[in-house]
Every structure is written in C-alpha cells, then in structure tokens.
Amino acid sequence: MATCLVVANFLLYSPRPTKSSAQKHPLQPISSRSMLQSPKPKNPINPAFLEAPFFHSDSCRIRIVARSSLRETDASSDEPLVGEDSAAFDLGTQNIVSWVYFTVILGVVLYVLDVAWIDNSTGFGKAFIDAVSTISDSHEIVMLILILIFATVHSGLASFRDMGEKLLGKRAYRVLFAGVSLPLVVSTVVYFINHRYDGVQLWQLQNALGVHQFVWLSNFISFFFLYPSTFNLLEVAAVDKPKMHLWETGIMRITRHPQMVGQVIWCLAHTIWIGNSVAVAASIGLIGHHLFGVWNGDKRLAMQHGEAFEVVKKRTSIIPFAAILDGRQKLPKDYYKEFIRLPYLTITALTLGVYFLHPVMQSASFRLHW
C-alpha cells in the first residue's frame, strides 16, 4: 500500500521536463538488443537496504499516507483514511459468545450498582449526596460540586489511562474506570432530576409557540453526536480489549469532538425549557467539563497516534461544519450511508424510548429522595 502511494505521488507530482532538457537529451529508439546490452548501474541498490525497517515500519506507512492525502487537490474526497471508520458494525463478524459475556457482565454491573449505590437500605449513594449537600444549602452549588467530582474522576482516570493500563492491564483498568465513574454519574443525574425546578426561575418559555418542538428536536439530535467509541459496547464492557481509537468518518467529519457538541445542544435545550438557576448551573458545569475534554482528548490522541492524528486534525474541526465549509473536509457523495448503520438506528430507538419513559425516570428518581 505504501509503495503504491509513493509511485502515485511520483507520477502525479514529478516535474515535467523542460524544452531545453528535451533537446539536450533526445529520446533514443529502444530495441531489444539495446535493452540486452544496456550497462549495469554503477551503484546497484543494496538488497539489504530494501529490507531495512524504514520500508516496513508502520510509522513510515502513516507518514506516506498522510503526505499523499494532504497534497491531494482533487475534490472527489477519495483521500485515503488514516483513521478508522466510525459506527461500522458487521453482523457477520460478531461472536455470539462475546455478546453472551456482555449480557452477563451488564446484568452483574447493574445488580452491584443497585445494591452498593442506588438502594438506600444497602448502598452508599444517599450518604454520598447527603455529604455533598452539607457543603452548601444552595442546590446550584451542590449541582456544580457533583459535576466537578465526576469530571475530576472521569477526566483524571482518562488522563492516566496509559500508565494505568501498563500497571493493571487494559481490561482491568477499564473495569476500574467504569466502576468509579458509573455511580458518580448516576448520582449527578438523579440529583438534577430531583432538584431541576428548585432554583430561581429566570424565564418561562414552556408555553411559548414552537418551544416544545424546538427543545424536543434539539435533544433528539444531540444523541447523534455521541462519540463513536460509545458504540463499541464489547470494549466498553471490557469483553474485547479496550483501544484508543482514531475515528475519521461519520459524525467526525462534522466535528472532531461530537460528544462536546452534543452536550452543548442538550444543555441549551434543557436550560431553555426549565429556565432556572439550577439548569444554568448544571449547563455551566457540563459544558465546562466537555470543553476541557476537547483539549485533553486532542492531547491524548496526539500522544497515541502521532502524525496520523495530525492528518485527521487538519481535515476536521472542533466547531461543527467548519472544516467542510472551508474545504478541508470533502464529503463523499454517499456520505449519508455513514449514518445508515445499526448503531445509529439503535440510538434512534433508544432516544425515542427515553423520551416516552421520562415519567418513569422521574418517579424512580423521586423515590430515592436524593
């Protein structure tokens, strides 16, 4: 593959001979005899040189791909990918045993989460919320502290991922990461549901024309900005060995940080709908956390993938559609097919289901008295 790209670069970009050089060295007719009698090169290529690691290393391949793709001026968007195809799901390659393991692990995790954290008679969730609530009587301050605790743990463990995986192994570190993050996010979400109308009312737009439709549509769209690694459920559950992927297609063509964009959309929609100080505090905390994730995520991807990430970075943008509008990202003609995939169909069904299950979620949160 790398050799083909080198040859293609040479054929496409090698300078044409000038008229003077063509006259100085006129073309000679070629015969079979002249070919047989052609002199051997004075400095033949050493075969050992062709076997050097330079020609076979992955880093060399990445550099060649990156260079050819960046120099491509054709508008056909046939540039070779250096990243991975996001949200790809081939049903034929799935292992039934792996999904059985996933189902068992999911059941065990939910059971342990309920007993050790959610259930007020056995878990520590209520004690955690009560301890944080003693810091301030303000629901806004408590909301911000809960988000800060989650953000510190979540981003902190993500930042130390390389070191942790070397010490514990990739699967064990993923279990630690999820085991600590999951209870904290549950506590934060439950507290927000229970106290979302306890703040100072700043505006009231729920009865305004078109607001409900706008908020509903915004929330629906926000879930399509999930980071593609979320779809790798077998890696999330550590059934497959977790990897730090470099995604390049699908939602990544619109923005390099879809999780941040989706969170901003979700926060703005809920803040417009609720219209009070608790919603504003929650939005400030969540958006701030995800803005830090933009910087931290790019830093970690650069350390992990090197020049390949720099290529993806030049082709994409943080602000949605910016790279498309300025020509750095050229969408393929069948771009829509990158969204007609099982993960996005699943997201559509789950998003609609969550909307209709809002009353169930609210009643379940109220019963916890957090």
Summarised one tens digit per residue, pLDDT across range 33-48 is: 343 344 444 444 444 4
Per-residue CA distances from 291 to 60, 131, 230, 295 (Å): 33, 28, 18, 7
Q: How confident is the model at residue 91 (pLDDT cuts 50, 70, 90)?
A: confident
Q: How confident is the model at residue 77 (pLDDT cuts 50, 70, 90)?
A: low
Instruction: Give the tokens for residue 300.
Output: 């970690």
Please indicate whether residue 41 or residue 109 has the higher confidence score (pLDDT).
109
Do 271 and 279 touch, CB atoms closer than 8 A? yes
Instruction: Give the tokens for residue 360.
Output: 């169930």
Q: Give the C-alpha separation, 80 to 122, whole Å.
A: 54
Please indicate whether residue 19 or residue 130 has the higher confidence score (pLDDT).
130
Q: How confident is the model at residue 78 (pLDDT cuts 50, 70, 90)?
A: low
The pLDDT value given to residue 186: 97
Name the least confident of 17-21, 244-248, 249-253.
17-21
Q: Percent of the chain scored above 70 by pLDDT? A: 79
Rounded to two decimals, the pTM is 0.77
Residue 265 has phi, psi (to 5 degrees) of: -60, -45
When pLDDT is averaged across residues 240-253 and rounded to a whole number, the result is 96
Q: Give the C-alpha separation, 247 to 228, whole Å.
A: 7
When pLDDT is averaged across residues 7-22 and rounded to a whole number, the result is 39
Instruction: Give the tokens for residue 189.
Output: 């979400």
When pLDDT is averaged across residues 332-359 and rounded to a whole number, the result is 93
The pLDDT value given to residue 34: 40
- For residue 19, pLDDT over 60 is answered with no
- For residue 17, pLDDT over 50 is answered with no
Q: Percent of the chain scored above 90 by pLDDT? A: 75
Q: Give the C-alpha separation, 133 to 129, whole Å.
A: 6
The pLDDT value given to residue 79: 74
**Alpha-carbon dihedral 157, 162, 168, 172, rounded to 10 degrees:** 60
- For residue 75, pLDDT over 60 is answered with no
The pLDDT value given to residue 184: 98
CA angle 301, 238, 127 (to 5 degrees): 95
When pLDDT is averaged across residues 196-214 and rounded to a whole number, the result is 96
Summarised one tens digit per residue, pLDDT across range 287-326 is: 999 999 999 999 999 999 999 999 999 999 999 999 999 9
Q: Give the C-alpha separation, 84 to 243, whole Å.
A: 12
For the chain, give the mean pLDDT. Answer: 84
Do 261 and 225 touch, CB atoms closer than 8 A? yes
